[in-house]
Amino acid sequence: MRAFVLSAIGMFALDQGSKWFVVHALNLKNILALDVWPPFLRFRMGWNEGINFGLLSGHPDAMRWLLIAVAIAISVWVSRWALKDGRLMMQVSAGLLVGGALGNVLDRLLYGAVADFLNMSCCGINNPYTFNVADIGVFAGAIGLVLFSGQKKTP
């Protein structure tokens, strides 16, 4: 349980800290874009009212509350599953997913949308999409749950 709690709190804090720093300290909410390591990494402000890549946006108020409820329900289910399993990597993976999901839930509660700011492009391909640290946690956690869920628990 300790690994789950530490990874969830760590991911949540990293997500919220990075958003605060980029949006407020670097003033990205006003300057909208900042080249960090061109062309590979750019901070570009985006407010996502939907899910990945802005899907399901357009009904901000109803969708906002639905997405909050779904994220919390999935977080509770994943938490119970991973804690019942007991293996370290399952708990860490679940913690990353839950910490990231709850970071995005807090954004929806505070701002009505998720603050996205990471934009990565490479090799002449211009990526129009932005994401955030919470999205990395959700993705890494989901991959970890898939990879480690089939392993047998060692005594």
Residues involved in catalysis? 116, 135
**Contact present, 3 and 91 (Cβ < 8 Å):** yes
Q: Compute φ and ψ for 117, nearest 5 degrees.
A: -145, -15
Taking a C-beta distance cutoff of 8 angstroms, is the pair 3, 13 a contact?
no
